[in-house]
Every structure is written in C-alpha cells, then in structure tokens.
Amino acid sequence: WATKNEVTKIVKPPKVMKDEEWDGLVERLHGTKRSKESTIKQQQNRELAEQLRELHFKPTLNDNSRRIAADTKRGPMLRRMEMDLEVREKKLQQKREEQADEEIKELQPKPNLEGSKQSLKYLKQANKPTSRTVEDIMQYGEETKLRRLQR
C-alpha cells in the first residue's frame, strides 16, 4: 500500500520564539512553582503556629524528681551528693578487698581433695588406715612427679 500510495509528510518548522515570548514562558513556569512553594510554606507556618500555641514552656517534674527534691532529711543537695559518694567509695573499696582476698586464696597451693574421696572409699573397702593429712597428699604428689622424671 505504501508503494502505491505515496504519503506526503508535512514537516512544520519549529516556531521561532521572540525574547518576550521566552520571558513569558519562563515567568509562567516559574510562577506556578513559586505559587506551589508559597502554599506549602503557608501550610507549614500554620502548623507551626498551632504547635506553638499548644506549648507552655513550663518545666514539669515527674514523681521521682519531686520525691528526691522533697527528701530534706539528708540535708542540702551538695551534702547528699558527698554522702552518696562516700557510700559508693566504701562499697567499691570493700569489693576491691574481697576480690584481693579471692585472688590470694587462689594463689595458695591446696590440693584438690575430690579425687582423694574415691581413693578413701577404696581404702575403707580394703580395711586400710584412712587417716590422711594434706601433707600425705602433697608427699604423694611429689613422689609421682619424681617417678615421672625417672621414666
């Protein structure tokens, strides 16, 4: 069909705009943007003004703060802070001492008697003397070390 019927295309040349027309187009496009922005700003200002009407700018104390402020038995705030600091330091010092005592206990050589309980059971079954001291167990440990070195 295209070969039998020639189609003539009409090509319109682009419209050449004058400077005044360009200025008008730019002003119209920017004007709509400006009007949208101004309506958005007006809405934001209204919302902000309503929020500011609701604010009173008065501090409020919660129940715990009121209770602490009413606690005048212990004296003025500075004195209470000093007393609390002293109590805290005493507790920390006590914990440090307890920790140091525990570390000292760990450093002292004491044999683990859990395994010897089983041996004690076998000694009783064999009708052998069961009275042992820590020195006996320590001596046994030394003898086993010596036997290992001899091997």
pTM of the model: 0.30
Three-state SS string over 110-122 comes to CCCCHHHHHHHHH
What was the pLDDT predicted at 86? 95
Give the angle 123-127-128 at the CA atoms, nearest 5°. 60
CA distances from 13 to 10, 16, 19, 43, 53 (A): 10, 9, 18, 45, 61
pLDDT confidence bin for 99, thresholds 50/70/90: very high
Task: Kindly report, residue by residue over 15-48, the tens digit of the pLDDT.
Answer: 888 889 889 888 888 888 888 999 999 999 999 9
What was the pLDDT predicted at 48? 93
Asked if the model's pLDDT at residue 77 lies above 80, the reply is no
Asked if the model's pLDDT at residue 130 lies above 80, the reply is no
Dihedral sign for Cα 34, 37, 43, 49, please: negative
Asked if the model's pLDDT at residue 59 lies above 70, the reply is yes
More confident residue, 135 or 116: 135
